Amino acid sequence: MPFTNYEETVAYGAMIAYVTRTRYMPPWRADQDYGHFNTPLSLSEGQIDAIQRWMQAGFPPGAGKADLSEAPPVALEPLEWDLELTMDTAFEQYDIYFDQFQVFRLPTRLKTDRWVETVEFVPGDASIVRYVSVSLSQGKTAARLDKWDPRYGYTSFGGPGFMPETEGWFTWSIGDENRMTDGSRRFLPAGSELIMYIHYGPTGVKKLDRSTIRLKFAESESELPVTFTISLINPTLLPGKTLEIPAGELTTLQAGVKIPRRVKLYSIEPQGLLLTRSWEVFVRLPGGEVKPLLKISDYDMHWRRSYRLPQPLELPAGSEIQARAVYDNRPENPFLPVSPPIKAHWGSRLYEEQFLLRLRLEWPDHSRGRWLSGHPNQVEAYRQVKLARPVYGKFTIRVVSLQAGTSYRDYHFSPARVGANDVEVNLSGLPYGNFMLSLVDRNGRILDSELFVYWPPEMTKSLLDE
């Protein structure tokens, strides 16, 4: 709740002193001495001491009288938005003290691919919206889930409830600026739906939310760098390529992925559920130097966020990103979802678990739409190879495993015409894991490339699948 005057604040004075001293509030979980990020919400030791002294003195009022109830909002430069999408119906947050996790479909109805340079999220009720993750989908799974839940949207605890084609396209958390622009652009395919997963914090009174997303398109010939988001740290890197947390045990999972090309890292978002107790993320550079990125000693999924770096971090080819997470499936875990504890597997339900590290990257050849377009799936990937002028000779679409560093498939073809050329790339039979798909010309030059994850079938099921 917002505190707008002395009377409102002093009524919660003892609680404020406690939650700030224990660093439960403000909700910034990253360790301050391990990595540095934009918009840190943590208080300094001096600020915490000042609150403690205020409590010990009996919560005296300050000099003068301040009333913040009519405080003007932060002024943003007016923009002429190209697309504005608002929830069709106001969603009701219960008047009981429970969190809710709800997913909403926002169809874009775009006829052509677009680039987006600015995204603005406007919460309908900022007092209850804690976290938002927007993914992109062109399939029908979200519609099936929406039909299954009689309320507006559909309930899903740990994410969108299925594996969308583009995950984590945009995220917002408490403390983030409403308008996100960082000098890059992100791809929005024609016909996409925005799949908006919202975590609503608990409230003692009934409240309504009808949030809005606004998009500003980039010029078609924009020189802004292209960024995209992908979970390169995932269960396919674990033994057995699956996630299992034994009952009654403290379990540590660690995995790493070597980046084959030079990249720039914009943000990091670790994702676990109720058993997850800590995260540590670091990068090992080709020369052996270890660079700390993120450490969360007291992870709490109720305060998820994407941690954005002040400046994009350039990582040379061959850098290895490592992540370590600890899971507590013992009876003494206060967040234990099932008592007595049971073995936890991958999933987004209350009693399941996740091991994901979502990275937002600037990829050197990732043009998304200039040469390659389309989305990989579990069976095949149709790729449109777009040629601006006649090109003679053969091209190759190459599929390379990031884990093994070897090429698995080569597809040779000769373009039939200027413009879009459809090429079928069969992915069936690939080992599960991270891959790079590249378009290579006859001289061996990479014209375009992209990363994708080939997920095990059990990780692609929706909430409706058994």
* CATH number for the domain that contains residue 183: 2.60.120.310
Give, for 450, the enclosing helix (H) or strand (E). Answer: strand 446-454
In a domain, 329, yes or no: yes
Shared domain check, 212 and 240: no
Which residues, including other chains, have CB under 8 Å from residue 450's CB and lie 6 or more apart? 228, 363, 366, 368, 372, 436, 437
d(CA 31, CA 49): 19
Shared domain check, 333 and 281: yes
Shared domain check, 166 and 189: yes
Q: What is the reported pLDDT for 374?
A: 53
pTM flag (> 0.95): no
CATH number for position 415: 2.60.40
Shared domain check, 120 and 170: yes
Shared domain check, 101 and 187: yes
Q: What is the reported pLDDT for 394?
A: 80
Per the document, the length of the chain is 466
In a domain, 349, yes or no: yes
In a domain, 77, yes or no: no
In a domain, 403, yes or no: yes
Shared domain check, 88 and 220: yes
d(CA 339, CA 355): 22
In a domain, 74, yes or no: no
In a domain, 252, yes or no: yes
In a domain, 15, yes or no: yes
Q: Are 379 and 427 in contact (CB under 8 A)?
A: yes
Number of domains in the chain: 4
Nearest of 276, 272, 278, 284 to residue 356 by alpha carbon: 272
Exposure string for 231-268, b = 16+ CB within 10 A, e = fewer: bbbbbbbeeebebebeeeeebebebbbbbbbebbbbbb
Shared domain check, 357 and 241: yes
Shared domain check, 316 and 292: yes
Regions in the chain scoring below 50 on pLDDT: 376-382, 388-390
Q: Domain range for residue 448?
A: 382-463
How many angstroms from the chain centroid is the CA of residue 174? Answer: 14
Q: Which of 362, 393, 410 is the last residue of a domain?
A: 362
Shared domain check, 237 and 190: no
Tokens representing 238 are 């674990």
Q: What is the reported pLDDT for 390?
A: 47
d(CA 294, CA 281): 5
Shared domain check, 354 and 254: yes
In a domain, 305, yes or no: yes
Shared domain check, 217 and 250: no
Shared domain check, 257 and 354: yes
For the segment 98-152, what is each residue's pLDDT rounded down to a tens digit? 899 999 999 999 999 899 999 999 999 999 999 999 999 988 999 999 999 999 9
Q: Which of 362, 394, 411 is the last residue of a domain?
A: 362
Q: Which of 224, 249, 277 is the last residue of a domain?
A: 224
